[in-house]
Structure 1
Amino acid sequence: MGGRVLVVGFMPDEVEKLRKALSVPVFEVPEYCRDWAVSEVVDKAAELSGSSYWHLRKFVIMHAVDNETLKEVIRSVKSLNLGRVIFATTTGTSLTWKLEDLLNELMAEDEYFKAARWAREEAKKRKGPFLDIGKK
């Protein structure tokens, strides 16, 4: 089985843009797969029918792609300006999880890294080793 990209949360026209832009097959994951093991979603990706547009967040989940393809997918998806997208690759562990559990974990990680980025940016704004408590 070659590399593939699974998408959740994209509108049909966005999926078409992804399919045209990416060098690996793109498969929409419909809502009825939310309780399936990720490995089952990957195995049956070509047989799935229905829209991926059922989740409020957008996910691009890459399976069995090499490092260069991974970078190409991320670069290409970002260049399409489709809004905030959460990227992930499958792992031995994630393949055993229910799809919904994986999506929840990915959202939690995304929020953590977003908060960490904000904290780093705020820390850079500080001028000295002390907190700026303001002057009166």
Structure 2
Amino acid sequence: MRRRELGFKRKGDGRHQERIRRPDPRRIHVEPTEKNLTGVAGLAPFGAFLRELGIDAALSRRFSRLKTGRTVIYPMAAQMRPLMDSALAGEERVFGIEALAVDPLFVRLTGGVVPSIDTVYRDCVFRADVTADSERT
């Protein structure tokens, strides 16, 4: 959860400037002797499975138009996958991403930076006109 000392924000200055890129989960191997323990070790093979099914590519094709431009840090497909991962990890609400933000594997799978809960909520607000255009393609 957010720390009072940091103004209820996670570590970092909150000024991540580069576009987030999710790593290839097929290249992540979780060993039982890892120094950084994780409670969501199943997310790596799950991510590899989804990638093999073409889900990541489909999310990108389907939702990339919802957020465009050079200043986009969290592409929409990259926002959808942490939501899917958090649901698999047992989180029933969007706010569950905040609890998972302390897990090293979850952070790695999100591209090294977990978006703030405010960013996730803002990106989850779909405008009907944009969504309708996306459904036609």
Tell me the TM-score normalized by structure 1. 0.29
- The structure in which a higher percent of residues are strand is 1
Q: Which has the higher contact order (CA 8 A, sep 6+)?
A: 2
Tell me the TM-score normalized by structure 2. 0.29
Query: Which structure is larger by alpha-carbon Rg, 1 or 2?
Result: 1
